[in-house]
Chains A and B, each alone.
Chain A
Amino acid sequence: MHAMALPARLPDSADKWEVQLRKGSLELAILAAHWSGPLYGLEIIRRLQKEADLIVPEGTVYPLLNRLKTDGLLNSEWVEAKGGHPRKYYRLTAAGRRRVIAMARFWKDFSDSVNHLLAPLEKGNR
Chain B
Amino acid sequence: MIISPIAQKKIQDYLDEFARGLRPLSADQTRDLVDEIRSHILEAATTDRGCITEGIADATLARLGSPSELAKGYVDFVPSPFALVENEHGARLQPWKSFFSQAVRRIPTTAVILATILAYLGAGILVLSVLSKPFHPARVGLWKTGADDFSLHLGLASSAAAPVGDEILGWSIIPLGLIAAIILISLAVKIDLRLLRLFRQGGIHIVA
Contact = CB atoms under 8 A, between A and B. Distances in A.
B93 interface: yes
B39 A57 contact: no
A67 interface: yes
B88 interface: yes
A84 to B, nearest CB: 7
Given A57-B65, A60-B73, A62-B70, A94 B89 contact: yes
A9 interface: no
Interface size classification for chain B: 20 to 34
Interface of A: 40-42, 57-60, 62-64, 66-67, 69-72, 75, 78, 84-88, 93-95
A39 B125 CA distance: 56
Contacts of B16: none
Contacts of B36: 41, 62, 88
A63 B65 contact: no
Nearest to B70: A59
Interface string B35-74: 1111110111000000000000000000111000110011
Contacts of A95: 85-88, 90
Contacts of B74: 62-63, 66
Chain A CB within 10 A, most for which of B33, B40, B79, B90: B40
B96 interface: no
B89 A70 contact: no
Contacts of A75: 88
A63 B32 CA distance: 13
A59 B42 contact: no
A43 B69 CA distance: 22
A93 B40 contact: no
A63 B75 CA distance: 9
Contact of A70 (B1, B43, B79): B79
15 contacts: A59-B69, A62-B37, A62-B70, A63-B73, A70-B208, A72-B85, A72-B86, A72-B93, A88-B35, A88-B36, A93-B88, A94-B89, A94-B90, A95-B86, A95-B87
